[in-house]
A and B are shown apart, each in its own frame.
Chain A
Amino acid sequence: MRALDYAIREAWASLWRRRGASGFAVLAIALAMIVLGALLLLTWNVERLLTQWSSAAEFSVFLRDDASSEQRGAIEAVIDGSGVIEQRQYVSKADALTRFRREFAQLASLTEGFDDNPFPASVEVRIRPEAERDGRAEALVRRVAALPGVADLRYDREWLAQLASGLAAVRGAGLVLALVMALAAAVTVASVVRLGLQARGDEIEIMQLVGAPLAFIRGPFVAEGVLQGGFGALMAIGVLWLGFTVVATVWGPELARLLEGGSLQFLPVRLSTALVAGGMVVGGAGGFAAARHAV
């Protein structure tokens, strides 16, 4: 406990004494944490929206114009009996035309030249989230697609899968970039701490000669790195939050439309804390490496 108390007091004093160099190290960690934090912010939001969209999964069964009421009844019976749906709604040809005219008012005139209503009747099905995850929804879709009277079936899972795999690629590339930057930040911290080690050469020599435990000798330098890392990460969170607020204020309505009602959220406390802890680990590693090399 005394070693920890001593390390923190000495580290704090050293940070203040060499605030210029320490500020530089804090900035380096902040840059690395901004990259990592932005990546977290992006992937966490996309993952959240993916979950949201997946839980609201639907499919539409378009019926042939000549489908009989028995065929429609058989299709609905298969859907109802599957046990994986939350809701089912039949949309007649007339309803589909009305909906098109309402949702695409500017294109409504295009539908006036037709003799017949070109829109097919359909059955719209909302699937339970767990059925989406365990593959039962997929099985139901395949079964319904093969039934007589079905003209087409729209089940938009592919784009979600593509988005998820794109997200994994972004996460991978971002992680590599963040790791490289974290390494660079650790090296910067180590260099700054090494300057402190050189400036306090006599002090360290005396500590070694009086038989001070290593925890007392190295501790302040590790703590200095940890503090620099923590401040850097806090600064990164501040910058990210500012950037996020600007984006949400300026492009909020457009984003809400683009995300079909979904909204972006800032990193939750859990991830923000993890980011600060990450900064402290990077800084501490830099401080430890420098102290271990010197003592």
Chain B
Amino acid sequence: MIETHHLSKFYSRGLYALRDLTLTVGKGEFAFLTGPSGAGKSTFLRLLLLQERPSEGSIVVNGHDLSRLSRREVQEYRRGIGFIFQDFKLIPTRTVLENISFVSEVLGVPPAQQKRRAFQVLKWVGLQHRMSAYPRDLSGGEQQRIAIARALASDPVLLLADEPTGNLDPDLSLEIMNLLREINAGGTTVVVATHDRELIRLVGRRTVTLDAGRVVEGA
């Protein structure tokens, strides 16, 4: 699913965020990306989401060579990727159901289909009874579950999560991880960036450790 070859990302004055990263994540795999702050975890996810372009090397995701995609192809590519952030990024002026159906809406899906799919994933994360609530009325755990439901709305082949449990207590963190495991069990490749070693230990999946932009373990 993900293949990188000698991937580097550097900024001005030789400041490397990632250096010579060669890594493979197989289709249907669940992988943790860990390391201290500044190790390059988020940069790697940003490169996968094409929010940034590599400085050197290549990334191939699901057959797409990310360095060669046109603007339109980037849109196409992103439609197959789900993402979850630490700060949830829910839209405060929309209800739970609207936050989820919003994804299908801006992809031009017909209204009836939008609502059906949104309700389906909302039910899957167990929050169908909160569909009319606004994000401010939800707990942190509920907000992250909504964010997961939103990520699933477009039925992605790859799910990227950047510190998805960073704002949650240990019990809720495990609950979110269980949801991600279930998603993975359905065939979706999942990559989770986290610095929570205890959580990684509890979930027990492949772990790639980064430090100062280099892979130090698990490539």
- Which partner residue on chain A sits nearest B83 by CB separation? A209
Q: Which residues of A contact B110 (CB under 8 A)?
A: 2
- A207 and B106 in contact (CB under 8 A), knowing A212-B75, A213-B75? yes
Query: Which of B51, B90, B93, B154 sits near A210, CB closer than 8 Å?
Result: B154
Q: A203 at the A/B interface (Cβ < 8 Å)?
A: yes
Q: How far is the CB of A121 from chain B (nearest CB, A)?
A: 84
Contact B89 A210 (CB under 8 A): no
Q: How far is the CB of A246 from chain B (nearest CB, A)?
A: 43
Q: Which residues of A contact B91 (CB under 8 A)?
A: 202-203, 206
Contact A213 B77 (CB under 8 A): no
Chain A 185-226 against B: per-residue CB contact (8 Å), 1 yes, 0 no? 000000000000000001101111111110011000000000
Q: B108 at the A/B interface (Cβ < 8 Å)?
A: yes
Q: A17 at the A/B interface (Cβ < 8 Å)?
A: yes
Contact B102 A206 (CB under 8 A): yes
Contact B107 A212 (CB under 8 A): yes
Contact A211 B108 (CB under 8 A): no
- The answer for the CA separation of A216 and B76 in the assembled complex, in Å, is 14
Q: Which residues of A contact B90 (CB under 8 A)?
A: 202
Contact B105 A210 (CB under 8 A): no
Q: Which residues of A contact B60 (CB under 8 A)?
A: none
Chain A positions 163-182 with a Cβ under 8 Å from a chain B Cβ: none
Main SS class of interface, A? helix
Contact A202 B76 (CB under 8 A): no
Query: Which of A17, A202, A205, A216 sits near B106, CB closer than 8 Å?
Result: A216
Q: Which residues of A contact B108 (CB under 8 A)?
A: 2-3, 213, 216
Q: B74 at the A/B interface (Cβ < 8 Å)?
A: yes
Q: A6 at the A/B interface (Cβ < 8 Å)?
A: yes
Query: Which of A6, A211, A217 sits near B105, CB closer than 8 Å?
Result: A6
Q: Which residues of A contact B89 (CB under 8 A)?
A: 202, 205-206
Q: Which residues of A contact B130 (CB under 8 A)?
A: none
Contact A211 B93 (CB under 8 A): no
- The answer for the CA separation of A216 and B79 in the assembled complex, in Å, is 14
Q: Which residues of A contact B168 (CB under 8 A)?
A: none
Q: Which residues of A contact B174 (CB under 8 A)?
A: none
Q: How far is the CB of B152 from chain A (nearest CB, A)?
A: 12
Q: How far is the CB of B1 from chain A (nearest CB, A)?
A: 17
Contact B49 A211 (CB under 8 A): no
Contact B107 A211 (CB under 8 A): yes
Chain B positions 74-125 with a Cβ under 8 Å from a chain A Cβ: 74-79, 81, 83, 89-91, 93, 102-103, 105-108, 110
Q: Which residues of A contact B102 (CB under 8 A)?
A: 203, 206
Contact B79 A211 (CB under 8 A): yes
Contact A212 B106 (CB under 8 A): yes
Q: How far is the CB of A19 from chain B (nearest CB, A)?
A: 14
Q: Which residues of B contact A203 (CB under 8 A)?
A: 91, 102
- Which partner residue on chain A sits nearest B99 by CB separation? A206
Contact A209 B49 (CB under 8 A): yes
- Which partner residue on chain A sits nearest B73 by CB separation? A211
Contact A210 B106 (CB under 8 A): yes
Contact A210 B49 (CB under 8 A): no
Contact A6 B106 (CB under 8 A): yes
Contact B83 A211 (CB under 8 A): no
- Which partner residue on chain B sits nearest A17 by CB separation? B93
- Which partner residue on chain B sits nearest A203 by CB separation? B91
Q: Which residues of B contact A210 (CB under 8 A)?
A: 78-79, 103, 106-107, 154
- The answer for the CA separation of A211 and B158 in the assembled complex, in Å, is 14
Q: Which residues of A contact B76 (CB under 8 A)?
A: 211
- The answer for the CA separation of A117 and B150 in the assembled complex, in Å, is 101
- Which partner residue on chain B sits nearest A13 by CB separation? B93
Q: Which residues of B contact A2 (CB under 8 A)?
A: 108, 110
Q: How far is the CB of A127 from chain B (nearest CB, A)?
A: 65
Q: Which residues of A contact B75 (CB under 8 A)?
A: 211-213
- The answer for the CA separation of A203 and B79 in the assembled complex, in Å, is 16
Q: Which residues of A contact B74 (CB under 8 A)?
A: 211
Q: A6-B106, A206-B150 are in contact. List 8 more A-B contacts (CB 8 A).
A: A202-B89, A203-B102, A206-B102, A208-B78, A212-B75, A212-B107, A213-B106, A213-B108
6 closest A-B pairs by CB: A211-B78, A212-B106, A211-B79, A211-B75, A216-B106, A202-B89
Q: List 17 A-B contacts (CB under 8 A).
A: A2-B108, A2-B110, A202-B91, A203-B102, A205-B89, A206-B103, A207-B106, A208-B78, A209-B49, A210-B78, A210-B107, A210-B154, A211-B74, A211-B76, A211-B78, A212-B106, A213-B108
